[in-house]
């Protein structure tokens, strides 16, 4: 389900695999509206897919928030993926290519980090996870 809070603020509940597609599309649409290149739009939507898939794979449910806000004095498209799942015991390892605690290839979080301009993870075992990543909005947009 998508809830539009404001023109540049979208929240997508993530419970099933179809919600990943919804979150990806919402990111694509807002990125296009903001003037991102097709390459950047593809990178943004792929990064959204990766963090949304982690929600369904490891936490079961959560949400993706897509907002436009200032970060470090610049305008950014910000994606926040939040869940109340088991948390990430070792964030440093989780960001290593090939490391996975599940059935995946261990490319999700490291891949998302490479695709975006910034990625931060706040997580602890039993406390859930908040992944915040952003891409700088193109100048003049």
pLDDT tens readout for residues 20-44: 999 999 999 999 999 999 999 999 9
User: What residue numbers bound the domain in which 36 lies?
Assistant: 2-136
Question: What is the enclosing helix (H) or strand (E) of 99?
Answer: none
User: How high is the pLDDT of residue 17?
Assistant: 92
Is residue 105 predicted with pLDDT exceeding 50?
no
CA distance 70 to 59: 29
What would the mean pLDDT of 110-137 be, rounded to a whole number? 95
Sign of CA dihedral 13, 131, 112, 101: negative
The mean pLDDT value for 117-132 works out to: 95
Asked whether 18 and 53 are in contact (CB, 8 A), the reply is no
> Within a domain: residue 141?
no
Listed in order, strand segments (DSSP E) in the chain are 2-6, 9-14, 62-71, 74-83, 118-123, 129-136
Give domain status of residue 99, yes or no.
yes
The CATH number that applies at residue 76 is 3.30.565.10
Q: Rounded mean pLDDT of 72-98?
A: 90
pLDDT at 23: 96
- Return the pLDDT at 102: 56
Who has greater pLDDT, 140 or 79? 79
Average pLDDT, the chain: 89
Q: Compute the distance between CA of residue 88 and CA of residue 39 in angstroms, rounded to an integer.
A: 30
pLDDT over threshold 90, residue 3: no
Q: Of 30-39, 84-93, 106-115, 121-130, which gets the smallest average pLDDT?
A: 106-115
Residue 43: inside a domain, yes or no? yes
Whether 5 has a pLDDT exceeding 60, the answer reads no
Number of domains present in the structure of the chain = 1
End-to-end CA distance of the chain: 28
Kindly give the pairing relationship between strand 74-83 and strand 9-14.
Answer: unpaired
């Amino acid at each position: 389900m998508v809830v539009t809070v404001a023109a540049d603020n979208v929240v997508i509940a993530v419970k099933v695999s179809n919600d990943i597609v919804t979150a990806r599309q919402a990111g694509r649409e807002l990125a296009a509206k903001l003037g991102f290149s097709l390459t950047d739009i593809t990178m943004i939507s792929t990064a959204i897919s990766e963090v949304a898939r982690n929600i369904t794979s490891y936490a079961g449910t959560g949400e993706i928030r897509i907002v436009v806000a200032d970060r470090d004095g610049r305008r950014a498209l910000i994606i926040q993926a939040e869940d109340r799942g088991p948390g990430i015991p070792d964030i440093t390892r989780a960001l290593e290519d090939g490391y996975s605690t599940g059935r995946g290839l261990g490319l999700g979080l490291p891949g998302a980090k490479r695709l975006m301009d910034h990625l931060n993870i706040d997580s602890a075992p039993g406390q859930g996870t908040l992944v915040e990543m952003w891409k700088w909005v193109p100048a003049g947009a």
